Chains A and B, each alone.
Chain A
């Protein structure tokens, strides 16, 4: 439909999946407005009316508790489960309409998968496991071994190719699972609770590694998890699922600040907001800025007009030069100075993607607040101390009232 914009890597439209003897009947009844809990005699509606697009290079996290349908959803993307209704397109091909043969081609060439319990073949070495997808793709031995070594190196397992999986720790086994998917060289990667079986420290390590790899590789990743912190750490966007429905789709900040309903709100209340929210997400546009060529009088006037005691000084290209304070300006005005020379102080500045947790120390040291700048040093916004405190408070206390606007269709 939207052929003008970049084509999504994965696109789901009104996807339903029902299990049981009469799945079509379940879908029809739900479309007519029945509740899935009233249809348990007929079977289970695992996924109800899911629609989403995943852009190339995006990490799209599907988040939900067990039984929410997230695993079913991800299995429909590579056709392990055929959808009961709706369409799922991967690279423009509708998975539901493909023959077995074409489905296998898609799985070999376009979509790989990482599994919760690793799903390694215990009778094969690490190298043979990591190279499994390449073997199925029909690569010759030398190419296969070269690509396998590369993939193992990427996940930090170079030199382990000859070991057996049972000689490895859980974290290392999942690295093999990751290497297997990476070696396949597909654009889309499905990760089904990939880190959930690992203990917390290792899980954290794997998450960091995935973020690092993703920066290099830019894969399209569908990541399933029941851990909200994990979802927020990894996801460019998050789809919240409950009882088979997608409740909300948005960035972690949108979900945190504008939860679509009480369920999501309850879910996010335990999240460490300082690690999810970023400087860019809470900054405010500067009320007024001072040009480098302007003088103390203008500064004094602006300060009075806007009831502020500090101003950011920028040049024509919006590059930040520093802050000026009310006391210094007042002194300069009374002395009749015409330029800002010697009045400016270096501004404490941060980048838009810095998480709040890293702003705390600086904010404590500078009562002027913080400047948010981009890579070229241009001013993007200001974070006053009060803004920072407000951001840390729960949304309901912060005065967000209408939240229904974010409900995913």
Chain B
């Protein structure tokens, strides 16, 4: 128990029992807010399991082709070709089902992380006080060794996919906040001033000027969130989150080199695919890429049509 008399290396410096206090805090939260954690558990596990089932329902090859087509829409045929080759490789090493489970976990964790991070980043960009308060919290979340988050998470959610998702969110959230704040703060102040000068409301300035101009930086943050989610999702295998993480954990436990590398390579494939996809969406904003070209062409056609109509009236 807490004994204030306990000595430390430094003479006269009492031992602070921070560990015990945090433990006590987590216990208290666990006892008193159980309903909340049950709710979170229900929502998160439903989402993740649902997505997992969805991804594992169609034939592996069909889904691989769909992913490849997506790559073609977002970027070009080269990425599409690379994707289909890599994804077929995952099927061939028999890690497809695990990869889809991990993808579901990453998708849910990243989506929740971004849903929290982007509004928080916007808020921090608009208020120095919020920014000052958020920064140390982000530092703590990001630099605390990833494994440490697993312990309280297991206490609160027990072993399983929810704990994995929550630990992943905590670990992957900070870059989302930071990049959003940075992106908005970096928008040319003269352009923002122009927005004010023509009488825009703060909301109009955010939606029509700041967010569009910060989009590239925010997308870089989204990319980081997704990549960190993936790395944490594998670590979360330790708490039974399932998917490739489980395979890796199992390989470590049984010193199975072959299994370890197979699961590891599947993680690499997922990482490359997700990275290239988010990077392509981010870099292009809504400018390059086949999909946006198609959209643009239709918009142009529409615009010239309306102009023609307007000319006709004159």
Q: Are B198 and A184 in contact (CB under 8 A)?
A: yes
Q: Are B198 and A113 in contact (CB under 8 A)?
A: yes
Q: Which of B197, B285, B300 has the most CB of A within 10 A?
A: B197
Instruction: Give Cα distance in the complex from A174 to B212, angstroms.
Output: 22
- Answer yes or no: B303 CB below 8 A from chain A CBs: yes
Residue of A nearest to B202 (CB): A100
Instruction: Give Cα distance in the complex from A142 to B193, angstroms.
Output: 27
- Answer yes or no: A108 CB below 8 A from chain B CBs: yes
Q: Are A80 and B193 in contact (CB under 8 A)?
A: yes
**Which residue of the partner chain, among A80, A105, A136, A142, contacts B204 with CB atoms under 8 Å?**
A136
Q: Are A121 and B209 in contact (CB under 8 A)?
A: yes
Min Cβ gap A104→B in Å is 4
Kindly list chain B residues whose C-beta atoms are within 8 Å of the C-beta of A184.
198
- Known A-B contacts A115-B193, A142-B310, A162-B303; the reply to A105 vs B199 at CB < 8 A is yes
**Which residue of the partner chain, among A107, A123, A146, contacts B198 with CB atoms under 8 Å?**
A107
Which residues of chain A (139-190) have a CB below 8 Å from chain B?
A: 142, 145-146, 162, 180, 184, 190
Kindly list chain A residues whose C-beta atoms are within 8 Å of the C-beta of B196.
80, 107
Min Cβ gap B192→A in Å is 9
Min Cβ gap B217→A in Å is 13
**Range, interface on chain B:** 20 to 34
Instruction: Give Cα distance in the complex from A133 to B190, angstroms.
Output: 15
Kindly list chain A residues whose C-beta atoms are within 8 Å of the C-beta of B191.
119-121
Q: Are B199 and A119 in contact (CB under 8 A)?
A: no
**Which residue of the partner chain, among B190, B200, B300, contacts A136 with CB atoms under 8 Å?**
B200
Instruction: Give Cα distance in the complex from A109 to B199, angstroms.
Output: 9
Q: Are A104 and B190 in contact (CB under 8 A)?
A: no
Kindly list chain B residues whose C-beta atoms are within 8 Å of the C-beta of A106.
199
Instruction: Give Cα distance in the complex from A370 to B306, angstroms.
Output: 59
- Known A-B contacts A104-B199, A107-B199; the reply to A119 vs B194 at CB < 8 A is yes
Instruction: Give Cα distance in the complex from A184 to B195, angstroms.
Output: 13
Q: Are A80 and B199 in contact (CB under 8 A)?
A: no
Instruction: Give Cα distance in the complex from A116 to B306, angstroms.
Output: 34
Min Cβ gap A139→B in Å is 12
Q: Are A112 and B285 in contact (CB under 8 A)?
A: no
- Answer yes or no: A78 CB below 8 A from chain B CBs: yes
Instruction: Give Cα distance in the complex from A349 to B187, angstroms.
Output: 57
Q: Are B213 and A80 in contact (CB under 8 A)?
A: no
- Known A-B contacts A145-B310, A162-B303; the reply to A121 vs B197 at CB < 8 A is no
Which residues of chain A (38-86) have a CB below 8 Å from chain B?
A: 78, 80
Kindly list chain A residues whose C-beta atoms are within 8 Å of the C-beta of B194.
113, 115, 119, 132
Instruction: Give Cα distance in the complex from A240 to B138, angstroms.
Output: 50
- Known A-B contacts A115-B193, A116-B190, A145-B310; the reply to A133 vs B198 at CB < 8 A is yes
Instruction: Give Cα distance in the complex from A190 to B198, angstroms.
Output: 11
Q: Are A146 and B310 in contact (CB under 8 A)?
A: yes
Residue of A nearest to B300 (CB): A162
- Answer yes or no: A319 CB below 8 A from chain B CBs: no
Which residues of chain B (300-314) have a CB below 8 Å from chain A?
A: 300, 303, 306-307, 310
Q: Are A107 and B190 in contact (CB under 8 A)?
A: no
Which residues of chain B (273-314) have a CB below 8 Å from chain A?
A: 285, 300, 303, 306-307, 310
- Answer yes or no: B32 CB below 8 A from chain A CBs: no
Kindly list chain B residues whose C-beta atoms are within 8 Å of the C-beta of A121.
191, 208-209, 212-213
Min Cβ gap A3→B in Å is 28
Instruction: Give Cα distance in the complex from A116 to B193, angstroms.
Output: 12
Q: Which of B208, B212, B306, B307 has the most CB of A within 10 A?
A: B208
Residue of A nearest to B204 (CB): A136
**Which residue of the partner chain, among A117, A123, A136, contacts B199 with CB atoms under 8 Å?**
A136
Q: Which of B200, B201, B307 has the most CB of A within 10 A?
A: B200
Q: Are B212 and A119 in contact (CB under 8 A)?
A: no
Q: Are B197 and A80 in contact (CB under 8 A)?
A: yes
Q: Are B212 and A108 in contact (CB under 8 A)?
A: no
Residue of A nearest to B307 (CB): A145
Kindly list chain B residues whose C-beta atoms are within 8 Å of the C-beta of A146.
310
Min Cβ gap B211→A in Å is 10
- Answer yes or no: B188 CB below 8 A from chain A CBs: yes
Kindly list chain A residues whose C-beta atoms are within 8 Å of the C-beta of B310.
142, 145-146
Instruction: Give Cα distance in the complex from A123 to B207, angstroms.
Output: 13
Kindly list chain A residues whose C-beta atoms are within 8 Å of the C-beta of B306.
145
- Proximity bits, B208-240, A CB within 8 Å = 1, else 0: 110011000000000000000000000000000
Instruction: Give Cα distance in the complex from A106 to B198, angstroms.
Output: 9
Residue of B nearest to A106 (CB): B199
Kindly list chain B residues whose C-beta atoms are within 8 Å of the C-beta of A119.
188, 190-191, 193-194
Q: Are B198 and A132 in contact (CB under 8 A)?
A: yes
Chain B interfacial positions (CB closer than 8 Å to A): 188, 190-191, 193-194, 196-201, 204, 208-209, 212-213, 285, 300, 303, 306-307, 310
User: What 7 A-B pairs have minimum CB-CB distances, sorted nearest first?
Assistant: A108-B199, A107-B199, A119-B194, A113-B197, A104-B199, A133-B198, A119-B190
Further pairs besides A108-B199, A121-B209, A123-B213: 9, Cβ < 8 Å: A111-B197, A113-B194, A119-B194, A121-B208, A121-B213, A136-B204, A137-B199, A180-B198, A184-B198
Question: Could you list 24 A-B pairs, sorted by A, with CB under 8 Å?
Answer: A80-B193, A104-B199, A104-B200, A107-B196, A107-B198, A108-B198, A109-B199, A113-B197, A113-B198, A115-B190, A115-B194, A116-B190, A119-B194, A121-B191, A121-B209, A121-B212, A133-B199, A136-B204, A145-B306, A145-B307, A145-B310, A162-B303, A180-B198, A184-B198
